[in-house]
Each structure stands twice: as C-alpha cells, then as structure tokens.
Amino acid sequence: MFDQTKESSLWANRKCLLICCIVSIANTQYGFDTAAVGGLQAMPGFLKVFGFENPKSPIGYSIDPTFQQLISSLLTLGSFISSLLAGVFAAYFGRKNAIWLACVLNAAAVAIQIATTSKGAIYVGRLLLGIANGFLVTFSNVYTSEAAPAHLRGVLVALFAYWVNIGSILGGTVNNFTKRRLDKSCYQIPLGCLYIVPTILAIGLFFVPESPRFLLHQGREAEAKRSLVTLRGTALTAEELEFEWAEMVRGMEEEKKTAKSVGWVDMFRGTDLRRTLLCYGMISCQSASGIWFLIAYQTYFLQQGGVTKPFEYTIMTSCIGFIGVNVGMYAMRHIFGRRSILILGACACGLCQLIPAITASAGVSARIQANTLTAFIALFKFFYNGCVGGASYPVATEVVSTRLRAWTVGSATAIGYLLAWLVSFCSPYFINPAELGLGAKYGYVWAGSNFACVIFFFVFMPEMKGRSLEELDEMFLNRVSVRKFPKYQSHLREDAANDVLQGKFGIDEKVVVVSHAEEVEAGQVADKRE
C-alpha cells in the first residue's frame, strides 16, 4: 500500500512549481503599478503636467488631493468591480481565459495613460487597468490554489506576495532612474513597462493546463485527468496519482450532495457561510494592516516625513519586504502553521505602526522621527510580507469550498479592494499638509486595526496546513471547531484509498506513461546540451 502522507519536495514538483510561477507572475503587475504610480506623485516632471507649482513644497510642485485620491482609488475601484464579477466569468470560461482577457484590457489601459495629458482620460485608464488587475490577482491565486499539492499549497500560493514584491522593487527602481527627467518621459517610461508582464503571461499560458478541479466540476473528466497528470509530472507514482484523483472525485460528489444551487447564494448558506466569512475576514485583514496605504503613498509619505531620499528608501523597504516573503515561505512550510504565522505577523505589524507614531508624539528632532519612520516601515514590510501578506491568499483560497472558490475568493477580493479604495481615498486627508497633516501619527490608526486582526486570527481562524482541499471541505461540512482542526481524522482519505485499491477511479496508465516519458526525454535533451 502506498503512503498517503508522503510529502514530495519542491524539486520533485518542479513542473507544477514552474506552471504556478508562470500564472502567479500576474501579481507582479499590481506591485509594479502601485509602486510606480505612487512614486510619480513625487516627480517634478509628472507634476508639471498633472500638478501645480508650490514654492512651499520640497520639490517646488504639489498635487491636488482630489487627483491624488482618484489615480490611486480608481485603480482599486476597477479591481473591485472585476473581482466581484469573477464568479460569473469563471462559471463559464475558466481561469486561463480570464487571465488572457485581463492581459488585453491591460494593454488598452496602458495605451490610454501613456498617450494622454487629460486628467479625465487618466481616470478612464486607471479604472480600466484596475479591472484588468482584479482578474489577474483573483484568477492567478485561485488557479495556483487548485493546482498545487496539499503540502506545498502554502508555498505556491504565497508566490502572490513574492511577485507583488518583485513588482514593487522593479517599479521603485524604474522610478528612481526616471525621477530627474523633467518631461513626460519621466512617467511614460514606467507606464510603458506595464506591457512586459502581461506579454510574458499571455504567451506562457499556452503551455499551462486549465485547473483540474474546474474541469472536473464542469463535467470534463478526461481533460481534468490530463491536467492533473501534467501538473504532477513525475512527483507521484501511478498509485499516488490515482489516490489524489479519487480524493478529488469523492470531494466533488460530497459537495454535490449539499449544494442547493450553483452561484453566489450558496456562499451564505449552511456551513459555507462560515467559510465565506473567514475568507472575507482574511482578505479584509490585508487592508487592516495598513499595507495599502504604504503601497499607494509610501514615497510621498516619506518625503513629507522629512526623509531625504524617499525614492531610494522606497526601494530599500521593498527589498526588505522581499526578504520577508522568502523567510515567510520557508517558515510556513517548515516551522509555523497558518494560524501562528498570521498572529505573529499582525502583532509585529501593529508594533511597527505604533512606535513611529509614539516617536512623532514625543516631540523628538525631525531627524530622529525620519529615521524611526524609515526603519519601522522597513520592518513592517518584512513582517507583513513574511506573515500576513504571504499567508493571506493561501488561507483565503483554501478555506472556501472548491465549487464556490471563484465566487467566494472573487467577492472577498472585491471587498479587499473596496477597503483598499477607502484607504487610498481617505489617506490624503490624513497625510497631505494641506489637510490634517498627521504624518507618522497616522500609525495610531493602523496599530489599532492590526491588534484587532490578532483577536480575529486567534478566535476564529482554524489551522489548515497540510490538508487537501477536499479534506477541508469535509471538515467544514462536519462543523469541526477551531480547536479540533489539527487532530481531525479525515474519512474522505480512507474512502479514497479504498477506491484506489478497488480500481474505482483509475487514471489511464497510457496518460501517465506518456507524460513521464516526455519529461524523461526533455531531461535527456537538457543533459546533452550541458
């Protein structure tokens, strides 16, 4: 009998890892855009076109708070709209087609923003780009969650934070090289870079199979089997592959027994209501951390806080955040569970917001305030990306049912974007010197919301590490409490194992042999080249 608990390495699952990397690169787009556009607000060349002269400003120009609000918040509003529609689109067209559509919309949105000097056209371009980004983020994370093996799902879905940080670093770096240009090229070059990732993604998707779970729920069983075999490559034996397939089929059959309809209504019925609320809470905690405020306004915030090199320090904090992602991915797989890393991260983020606020209230010198602000923003980025940010989408995508995943994650992402929009819209009133001008004291607000997240994670969030999506369906259906989650023994796995022994859900041996032969042949070709 094969070992049901076997955990293969990342290297053994390199084919699935490569496929998930291709899909999750979509998240680079959001990180790049928010970092780049946030930096444009501190560029004289951009402000000569879309701002106004102000002798009191450190750079001689200022930006109208309304325009500042709209260029950030309209992107978020567009993402909200498309995320809300994700479930409807996914029900008919799947994950890959949604990402392809987003690449097309992105191209149109970027063209509008590069070509115009009209604020109205900029607003249209930002909204359209937000619609594209909403599909990119939602469907890339849904796909990765459904494609990944159970024991590697946390790491592979955490690629979301990995690529967002790479995008932020690249966006900040490009801005740093164009900031001294005093013509329109200072912002047209960063915007033009937004063509790169969607082009790579659109081509890469031709080599990516559709989600096996989506195909199975669509009744396309043969395609679902081929997709699963492609994703697993040589990581599993034929028996282990049959077991995973049997578990998927068993899980789908159990879901159908409890389903009353297909669509958004079931998200708020029975045991699915608990899952929906946990997903919504998890995504909302991203906004509650304060990360959206820093994504949209960090360069401007540092500049107003007296930091002499805001562009350079923005890049530095993004790099530290990237280190945090890598540490968090390792810790999530080898050290902490989901629940523990979320609690740790929210506590650390709260302290990183609180300390600069206390320093600003203490009336110390401007230099100490600026240094404290920079240091704790860097630490915030480390802990957010390594903990809350890295674990948020693994938790949000695995806590919901397979049948309703696109609906629930899409609507949860929409709520997250709505909250992010509110943050983007309201933050200028707090930090802009023309309004309240709180500076680092704004951290009091975010410290409180982070500590509220700690309570939510401790009381309501179960530990789901290492569980298959079908096991989680069973556990929520049986109303397992938060305290009993770690020790629960799944009956579904036993039934799936028996099905394998009886040959009830076998996978065509020819499909497995052909797939493995192709990998061996590819490896031999690579060896010859070396």
Helix (H) or strand (E) holding 466: none
CB atoms within 10 A of CB 435: 11
The verdict on pTM exceeding 0.75 is: yes
The pLDDT of residue 510: 47
- DSSP one-letter string for 48-64: HHHSEE-TTSTTSEE--
Q: Which of 12, 123, 5, 19 minimizes the C-alpha distance to 74? A: 123
pLDDT tens digits, 310-359: 777 778 888 898 899 899 989 988 888 899 999 999 999 999 999 988 98
Percent of the chain at pLDDT exceeding 90? 34
HEC readout, 237-291: CHHHHHHHHHHHHHHHHHHHHHCCCCCHHHHHCHHHHHHHHHHHHHHHHHHHHCH
**CA 236 – CA 500 distance, rounded (Å):** 14
Average pLDDT over residues 404-414: 88
pLDDT tens digits, 160-213: 888 988 888 888 888 888 888 888 888 899 999 999 999 999 999 999 999 999
The pLDDT of residue 525: 37
41 has a pLDDT exceeding 60: yes
What single letter denotes the amino acid at residue 273?
A: L
| Residue 319: partners with Cβ closer than 8 Å, 6 or more residues away | 169
**CA 398 – CA 413 distance, rounded (Å):** 14
**CA 306 – CA 93 distance, rounded (Å):** 50
**CA 423 – CA 449 distance, rounded (Å):** 13
3-state DSSP helix/strand/coil percent for the chain, to nearest 5? 80, 0, 20
pLDDT tens digits, 436-455: 767 678 888 899 999 999 99
Cross-strand pairs, 337: none
Domain 17-491 has CATH 1.20.1250.20: yes
Which runs of E-coded beta strand occur in 34-150?
A: 52-53, 61-62
Dihedral, CA of residue 19, residue 21, residue 27 and residue 29, to nearest 10: -100
Helix boundaries (H) for 432-485: 443-460, 469-477
pLDDT tens digits, 54-107: 777 667 777 787 887 788 778 878 888 898 888 888 888 889 999 999 999 999
The pLDDT of residue 520: 41
Q: Which of 468, 459, 466, 336 minimizes the C-alpha distance to 390? A: 336
- DSSP one-letter string for 162-183: HHHHHHHHHHHHHHHHHTT--S
Please report, for the chain, the start and end positions of each structural domain, with discontinuous segments joined by +: 17-491
Identify whether the C-beta of residue 188 lies closer than 8 Å to the C-beta of residue 507: no
Average per-residue pLDDT in the chain?
A: 84
